[in-house]
């Protein structure tokens, strides 16, 4: 494939992107969460191109993006009252619903499942493209499988140069972590992936929601079903610890050539030659810069990265802790 072009989202570029989608090609687009790698969700060949460009295992299904609730209804077999309630409350927005799929979608995008993941994104460029294309766009995060998700057009370029012809540049993503994935096909709705729409926001509208609260203990595995354990990974070996382990972490740091520490607590910083990247203590602000900070940490030429885990899983911290857990392994015992 020829080199990748980054384009501002002019009406011309949107029309061109829609035409590429119609011809079965892939296009990278901004959403409010992270950048996506889009293709026509009805075309098996187009979906195959997404999996090839990402190097994604065929067993991991994709999310279908639609322009509105009416379009969502066309691509599911059932749209239950709870889905309508949640769509009214949170769409366009970072909430993905798992529902029984419609036959018109490519079987390949659901990895053989009878269900589909569907959401309406809250980004003007994504919505513009969806309306111009006038069809469903399947889009996983626009990164190589297993690595850090992109929150700028430049991140997409770094991941997928020469693997995608066109990136629509919609600026930095406002949310910064992927959408909440909510399964509505089970007796009790269940969160499969934490995001900006939290169980505390969902429960008042639809009743109890199962939400695997990620333990803040750094040594326990991630609990969410259907998710890869190792994910969002930086290139540098990355470790995690919880605040009570700081003394042990300091001993460990002292034995390393150069550690880059990511920390929400500016009081916990290592001496030179080690470095610290201080993350915002506010959850929304932290989520927004999380992936860019992991990428920045990778450029500091550390021998390893070390991440202080959040000491709460309230609200958006659950999503942040989940991503950090998958991006790291526990600090080796002393």
Footprint of ligand TXA (CB under 6 A): 31, 33-34, 36, 60-63, 94, 96, 98, 110, 113, 115-117, 121, 139-141, 178-179, 181, 192-193, 226-227
The partner in contact with residue 63, picked from ligand TXA, Mg ion, none with C-beta cut-offs of 5 to 8 angstroms by kind, is ligand TXA
Binding site for Mg ion (CB under 5 A): 141
* C-alpha to C-alpha distance for 178 and 180, rounded to whole angstroms: 7
The partner in contact with residue 61, picked from Mg ion, ligand TXA, none with C-beta cut-offs of 5 to 8 angstroms by kind, is ligand TXA
Cβ proximity to ligand TXA, 34 vs 127, nearer residue: 34
Cβ proximity to Mg ion, 141 vs 293, nearer residue: 141
* Nearest distance, CB of residue 226 and ligand TXA, angstroms: 5
Nearest to 132 by CA among 269, 281, 29: 29
Cβ proximity to ligand TXA, 93 vs 302, nearer residue: 93
Kindly report the number of other CB atoms within 10 A of residue 267's CB atom.
6
Nearest to 182 by CA among 102, 108, 113, 119: 119
* C-alpha to C-alpha distance for 275 and 106, rounded to whole angstroms: 47
* C-alpha to C-alpha distance for 140 and 108, rounded to whole angstroms: 13
* Nearest distance, CB of residue 251 and ligand TXA, angstroms: 36
Cβ proximity to ligand TXA, 150 vs 302, nearer residue: 150
Rounded to a whole number of angstroms, the CA Rg of the chain reads: 20
The partner in contact with residue 226, picked from Mg ion, ligand TXA, none with C-beta cut-offs of 5 to 8 angstroms by kind, is ligand TXA
Does residue 273 have a cis bond before it (omega within 30 degrees)?
A: yes
The SS3 call for residue 146 is: coil
Cβ proximity to ligand TXA, 144 vs 243, nearer residue: 144
């Amino acid at each position: 494939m020829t080199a990748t072009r980054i384009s501002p989202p002019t009406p011309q570029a949107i029309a061109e992107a829609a035409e590429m989608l119609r011809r079965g090609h892939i296009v990278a687009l901004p959403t409010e969460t992270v950048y996506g790698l889009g293709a026509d969700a009805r075309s098996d060949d187009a979906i195959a191109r997404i999996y090839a460009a990402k190097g994604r295992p065929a067993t991991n299904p994709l999310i279908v993006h639609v322009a509105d609730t009416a379009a969502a209804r066309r691509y599911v077999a059932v749209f239950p009252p709870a889905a309508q309630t949640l769509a009214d409350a949170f769409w366009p927005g970072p909430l993905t619903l798992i529902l029984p799929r419609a036959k018109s979608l490519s079987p390949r995008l659901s990895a053989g499942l009878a269900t589909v993941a569907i959401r309406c994104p809250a980004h003007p460029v994504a919505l513009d493209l969806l309306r111009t294309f006038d069809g469903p766009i399947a889009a996983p995060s626009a990164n190589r499988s297993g690595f850090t998700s992109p929150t700028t057009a430049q991140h997409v370029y770094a991941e997928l140069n020469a693997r995608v012809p066109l990136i629509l540049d919609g600026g930095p993503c406002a949310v910064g972590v992927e959408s909440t994935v909510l399964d509505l096909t089970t007796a009790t709705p269940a969160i499969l992936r934490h995001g900006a729409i939290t169980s505390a926001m969902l429960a008042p509208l639809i009743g109890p929601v199962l939400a695997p609260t990620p333990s803040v203990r750094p040594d326990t595995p991630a609990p969410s079903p259907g998710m890869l354990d190792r994910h969002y990974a930086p290139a540098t070996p990355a470790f995690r610890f919880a605040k009570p382990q700081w003394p042990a972490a300091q001993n460990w740091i002292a034995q390393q050539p150069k550690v880059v520490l990511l920390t929400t607590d500016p009081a916990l910083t290592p001496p030179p030659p080690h470095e610290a990247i201080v993350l915002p203590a506010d959850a929304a602000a932290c989520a927004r810069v999380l992936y860019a900070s992991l990428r920045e940490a990778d450029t500091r030429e550390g021998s390893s990265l070390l991440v202080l885990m959040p000491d709460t899983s309230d609200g958006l911290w659950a999503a942040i802790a989940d991503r950090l857990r998958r991006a790291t392994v526990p600090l080796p015992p002393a």
